[in-house]
Chain A
Amino acid sequence: MLVMGEVHTGLLQNSGEISESTCRQVLALMAGETVRVSRRPIVHALSPERLTGVDCALPTASRSRVRGVGTVMSRCAVTGGRVAQGSSYVRVVRSEADRRLPWSHYLARPGVVEVLGKAKAADLAEGFTGDSAPGGTGGACLNLGAVSGRFLDLVQASPLLDRRAPFKIPRTSLRWVAETGEPSIRFTLHTEQERTLRLTHPGPFTPAVVDLCEDLATHDWLLTSLLVIVERARIGGTQGAQAVARLAPAIDHLMHLWMPAARVEEWLTPFWESLERRPGFSRQWRSLVDRVRDQVAMNTLALLNATAEAGRR
């Protein structure tokens, strides 16, 4: 019917970026299974996947009760040794049976939630990504965000991290729904930390769609965080040197991480390209980065001038 997922993204709680080998250790959630690492164009480490059993109501826009039974697929990721993620998704399918089956049945279908009774894909998609979605505080519905949040906690609580992150910054959540059909993509900002994505892709669902959503979530978080840091710097409202000092964490820890669509399969890149046209992620990113660099350059010039003045006197 559809696939729904939620990605939580945050700053890895460590003073500096962590090495590839530390990434491997931090993400080794399950003994015996290896962490997948890709190195180019940026180090990206992905934990083994884990399942969470669920038997609960699914969110619907119509508020009709729909019961789903199955397992949620979750994993964690660290990008550039600096950005951490918890990500979960379920493939929602109609149950062949009209009652709950033994757990062995669901365990044989990892990441699948079977719907018992009647349900419309549109109703579920709207329920999951609409404004009254299960988000932060809501009730007893399937809450993929809670699962992803806990997976991200798992990474952040790793004893290998020193917890002295260079700046404080909120996590963001991206709630997504993917369906098969005529290609389209819609990215929406809700509150400061909540985003939704509606994706219709040609052909059947593959895990590459999850990679795309995680990649989007990473870049949305980078952009959101850079915006926050630039706002905190109060360029123009405070002394140049002070503003530059406040911008420093962005230069040291974020600005080199922008690698849009780096891990996105060829057939899905048109979706990224469409988001680059509107709302224009990279355009906004570049303009912010330029702004940061200009501030630093101007401040350096001012310092040089001051030094030269002093020398002449």
Chain B
Amino acid sequence: MLIFAISDKGGTGRSVTGTNIAYRHALQGNDVCYLDFDFGSPTAGAIFSVSAVARGTRENGLHHYLRGECPLPRRVDVWTESDREGLRARPPGAGRLVLLPGSEGGGELSALTDEVVGRCVQLLGRLDEEFDLCVVDVSAGRSFTAELVLAATVRMPAIPFRWLVFHRWTRQHIIAADGLVTGADGLLDVGTRFGHDPEDLRDRIRFVRTAVLEPDAAELVGLRDEQRAWLSACDSELRELAGRHGVGRTAMLGKIPLDPVLQWREQLITDEDVLASKIANAETAAAFEDLAKKIVDDSAWEGL
């Protein structure tokens, strides 16, 4: 299964959520690989706490590979190469967790050629042979990278893939997320142009809300009644807006609560962060875990 992670806007929590899903899916016993296709700022290494590739890799990164500068991209085994104590041993029952870092200072893809698509097809096809799940951070907005994977997946009709569109729970984000899928030059538009069936592609896209503050969240306990009432009204207004834009509950795969740790730092939330040091919220870890199950649960992906 290939999962493409995209968002309309930058800074929505795409990378943090995508990496945490990959991590949780590996903990659930699957072999998982994470591809940092965010060529503008490949920072997945930092989230996995692999300082050697915190900002991407200088040699044999994904960008180098797609440009044909190396025969295969570099692989980083997170369980052995992470600097974080709690990650540096594969927990019993966990699957492999491998990061394919982007290229440091690589810059966005500047054109989409047949060779680049061919290399992408080769890479994804091979990874699909050995990994249960490949999460691809496609970067934000309309990009050559998004076009690249849309073009590549047309050429691999038998390999299952799905898209996750990340957005925050605000007016602008809801409208933008819808636009990225259904708008001009959006995923459906470009995908159809490349040869995808629009209905089929639509069924493979779900939304994920990030950094959501529920009106009844513990964080809001100290608020005045007037403030809570206002938030509640906002929330139902947003729900109504989301419904109208096709970003409502049926098209949503999950939501990740706002977490104090993630507000301060881009990182994986381990069970230790929740249970031992108690810095992260249990709800956040549970939401990642739930999402990591749902991405491969066909019943969550039945036609809209």
Q: Which residues of A are in contact with B by a Cβ distance under 8 Å? A: 10-11, 13, 136-139, 143, 145-146, 149-150, 153, 156-157, 161-165, 168-171, 232, 234, 237-238
Contact = CB atoms under 8 A, between A and B. Distances in A.
A96 B59 CA distance: 38
B70 A153 contact: no
A138 B71 contact: yes
Given A170-B130, A171-B130, A163 B70 contact: no
B159 to A, nearest CB: 6
Interface in B110-138: 122, 125-126, 128-132
Interface-central residue, B59, B75, B128, B129, by most chain A CB under 10 Å: B129
Interface residues of B, number: 24
A35 to B, nearest CB: 22
Contacts of B75: 136
- Per DSSP, chain B at the interface is loop
A183 B285 CA distance: 59
Contact of A136 (B72, B95, B132): B72
Contacts of A139: 70
Contacts of A145: 71
Contact of A137 (B73, B93, B122): B73
Q: Which 4 A-B pairs have the closest CB atoms?
A: A163-B158, A170-B130, A137-B60, A146-B71
B31 A168 contact: yes
B129 A165 contact: yes
Contact of B93 (A157, A163, A237): A237
Interface string B25-69: 000010100000000000000000000000000011000000000
A139 B71 CA distance: 8
21 contacts: A136-B71, A136-B72, A136-B75, A137-B59, A137-B60, A137-B70, A138-B70, A139-B70, A146-B72, A149-B126, A150-B122, A153-B122, A156-B129, A162-B158, A163-B158, A164-B158, A165-B129, A168-B130, A168-B131, A171-B130, A237-B93
B102 to A, nearest CB: 15
Contacts of A13: 129
B91 to A, nearest CB: 11
A75 B129 CA distance: 20
Given A162-B158, A238-B93, A168 B71 contact: no
B222 interface: no
Given A138-B70, A138-B71, 10 more contacts: A13-B129, A137-B74, A145-B71, A149-B126, A150-B122, A163-B128, A163-B158, A165-B129, A169-B130, A170-B129
A237 B92 contact: yes
B78 to A, nearest CB: 15
Contacts of A150: 122
Contacts of A157: 125, 156
A170 B96 CA distance: 11
Given A163-B158, A163-B159, A169 B70 contact: no
Contacts of B131: 168
Contacts of B126: 149, 153, 171
Contacts of B132: 168
A171 B129 CA distance: 8
Contacts of A168: 31, 128-132
A125 to B, nearest CB: 21
A145 B70 CA distance: 13
Nearest to B93: A234
B74 A234 contact: no
B223 to A, nearest CB: 46
B129 A11 contact: yes
Contacts of B122: 150, 153
A246 to B, nearest CB: 9
A150 B93 CA distance: 33
B279 to A, nearest CB: 30
Contacts of A162: 158
Given A137-B60, A143-B71, A156 B125 contact: yes
A13 to B, nearest CB: 6
B95 to A, nearest CB: 8
A257 B31 CA distance: 25
A160 to B, nearest CB: 11
A13 B31 CA distance: 17
Interface-central residue, B59, B156, B158, by most chain A CB under 10 Å: B158
Nearest to B60: A137
Contacts of B156: 157
A95 to B, nearest CB: 26
A156 B31 CA distance: 20
Nearest to B70: A137
Nearest to B69: A139
A22 to B, nearest CB: 15
Given A162-B158, A234-B93, A137 B129 contact: no
A168 B128 CA distance: 8
A237 to B, nearest CB: 6
Contacts of B70: 137-139
A165 B60 CA distance: 29
